[in-house]
Amino acid sequence: MQEDKRSMGFMAQYPEPVPEHALLLRSLIFNMHPGIIEQVDMPAKMIAYCYGQKYAELICTIIPSKKGLKLGFNRGVDLPDPDHLLKGTGKISRYVEIRSAQQISSAAIKKLLKEALKAYKKRMAG
């Protein structure tokens, strides 16, 4: 795990429960993806989690706003989503709106994070 020390300062500018939920989500990502790199992208107003510097190596993002928090997935359109959590209309990415701490620890979120890692490994092998 490679932390970006700016992440918590970045999250502190948002109203609760956004920082609290981001911290829980961040811990889950670090626990499920050993060796992942955290990068704060100030211009894009998000925190990226990846295994390298290329866009193809991006696994997911935490996207805060004053209204709430989203967990974004690179190539989310290709992820299996039996629980119908993924939203968005873009050609590549999808996101989940995080509404509670319980949702963050749900089996459905963990399943999406596992699938995102599998998809990444497949992209890198291909």
Question: Which 8-state DSSP code applies to residue 82?
Answer: T
**Given this model, what pLDDT does residue 116 score?**
97
Residues 53-96: pLDDT tens digits? 888 899 999 999 999 999 999 999 999 999 999 999 999 999 99
Predicted local confidence at residue 53, as pLDDT: 82
CATH number for the domain spanning 69: value is 3.90.1150
Give how far Cα 21 sits from Cα of 5, 96, 119, Å. Answer: 17, 13, 25
In a domain, 40, yes or no: yes
Query: Is 16 strand, coil or helix?
Result: coil
Q: Give me the DSSP letters along 28-68.
A: HHHHHSTT-EEEEETTTTEEEEESSSSGGGEEEEEEE-SS-
26-46 pLDDT, tens digit per residue, is 999 999 999 999 999 999 999
| pLDDT at residue number 4 | 74
Please state, in angstroms and rounded to a whole number, the distance separating the CA atoms of residues 36 and 56. 14
Which amino acid, one-letter code, is at 87?
K
Give the HSE-up count for residue 24: Cα atoms under 13 Å, Cβ half-sphere.
19
pLDDT at 3: 73
Whether residue 2 lies inside any domain: the answer is no
Q: Give the integer Cα–Cα distance in Å for 99 and 96.
A: 9
Is 88 part of any domain?
Answer: yes
* DSSP helix/strand/coil, 19: helix
Would you place residue 1 in the very low, low, confident or very high pLDDT band (cuts 50, 70, 90)? low
For residue 55, the enclosing domain spans 7-125
pLDDT reported for residue 54 = 82
Distance set, CA 85 to CA 37, 98, 103 (Å): 25, 10, 11
Q: Which two three-digit tokens encode residue 38?
A: 């955290």
Query: How many domains is the chain partitioned into structurally?
Result: 1
Confidence of residue 2 (pLDDT cuts 50, 70, 90): low
